[in-house]
Structure 1
Amino acid sequence: MRIILSEDNDILRKSLSFFLESKGFTVDQFADGKDALDAIEANTYDLILTDINMPGISGMEITQYVRQTIGSEIPIIIFTSSGIEQTELDSFDIGANEFIAKPISPAVLLVRINKLLKIRV
């Protein structure tokens, strides 16, 4: 299973990537939303993990592009450090499948990924 991880926090991005790779996933990681969107256009992924606030293009813009422009139903999980309820509601309105507030528990993230991808652990 191939995942794209778009997160501008280097430590979080690298640690989540390492964790997911240890669970058998292939992870393409990007610190910039524009680079991530370019990769989404050029490759096939099974899941998108994206932070909301990133340089270049935000996670919300990535989600809107995937849903509206490409018309893809690929599962999308959005991360944010914002505790604002409206942000979570907006994420679902534009097509995100899951919303996870930071700090992210890798174990909880894995359960949500497996649920979206219908993988039995």
Structure 2
Amino acid sequence: MRIVLAEDNDILRKSLSFFLESKGFTVDQFSDGQEALDAIKENSYDLILTDINMPGGSGMEITQYVRETIGSNIPIIIFTSSGIEQTELDSFDIGANEFIAKPVSPAVLLVRINKLLNSQIK
């Protein structure tokens, strides 16, 4: 399983990547939204994990590109430190599957990833 992890917080990105790789996932890390978008355009992924606010492009832009431009139903989980309800509603409106407030618990993230990936298989 290959994952895009787009998160501009270096510590969070590296710790989540280390955790997910220890669980058998292949993780491509990006600290910039545009770099993540470029990778999505060129590669095939099973899951996208993205922060909502990043330099180069937001998680909303990534989600919108995946859903509208390439018409993919790849599972997308958005992270944010914003506690604003409207942000969460907007994320779901444009096609995000899950929304997780920071700080992100790796154990909770893993449960949500497995739930999404298992629902894709059925």
Same fold (TM over 0.5): yes
CA distance in 1, matches of 2:2, 2:58: 21
| Residue of structure 2 in register with 1:21 after alignment | 21
Moved over 4 A (4+): none
- Per-residue Cα deviation, 1:44-91 (whole angstroms, up to 9, x for no partner): 000000000000000000000100001000000000000000000000
CA distance in 2, matches of 1:106, 1:58: 22
TM-score, normalised on structure 1? 0.97
Deviation of 1:38 after TM superposition, in Å, equals: 0.2
Fraction of identical pairs, as percent: 88
- The alignment partner of 1:73 has SS state of coil
Structure 1: gaps of 5 or more residues: none
Structure 2: gaps of 5 or more residues: none
TM-score, normalised on structure 2? 0.97
Q: CA RMSD in A?
A: 0.8
CA distance in 2, matches of 1:76, 1:25: 15
Question: Does residue 121 of structure 2 align to residue 112 of structure 1?
Answer: no
The number of aligned residues is 119
CA distance in 1, matches of 2:16, 2:27: 9
CA distance in 2, matches of 1:41, 1:61: 13
